[in-house]
Copies of this chain bind each other. A is one copy, B any other.
Amino acid sequence: MTTARRDDPSDLESATDAGALGPLHAYVGYVLRRAQIAVFQDFIRTLAGVDLRPAQFSVLTLIDANPGIVQSRACSALGIQKANFVPMLQELEKRGLTRRVPVDGRSNGVFLTAKGRALLKRARSLHDRHHARITKLIGEPEQRRLIATLDRLATLGE
């Protein structure tokens, strides 16, 4: 499974055949999407050992930074739908990583379990390698600049 993956473009410059894209390579949305897919793939491969997908990692990270955060607030912080957050938490809870504690009759505070904290620690160390790979690829100053620019782009919907 090491050679001849996909449709083997061994004679093409990039694995996805960068030629012929025409105007596409000048479209921010298109290039953004391609980059995001590549980064996520690297993330997933790197964190395969802890079996965490990007969304799960971000949820654990958020909870760790905000212990007891209420679901609805976690959702608005992450920009996701509360309806989609429920099965996510159910999965994490089934794995013993998180825990929901009612704060009043309708709200739940969410916490990491000890196991969740331990896993997140391992995940962070793996994520560091992923992050370092990115930093090495684009350079640290450019990485800061990139994040600032992406932050501005993320305000488009507001």
Which of B28, B33, B38, B79 is within 8 Å of A34, CB to CB? B79
Q: How far is the CB of A119 from chain B (nearest CB, A)?
A: 16
A90-98, A100-108, A143-151 - interface stretch: A143-151
* Complex CA distance for A55 and B34, rounded to whole angstroms: 11
In the complex, per-residue mask of A136-154: 1 if CB is within 8 Å of any chain B CB, else 0: 0110001101110111111
Beta-carbon contact of B31 and A40 below 8 Å: no
A residues near B, CB below 8 A? 6-7, 9, 12, 14-43, 54, 58, 61-62, 64-66, 69, 72-73, 75-79, 82, 127, 130-131, 133-134, 137-138, 142-143, 145-147, 149-158
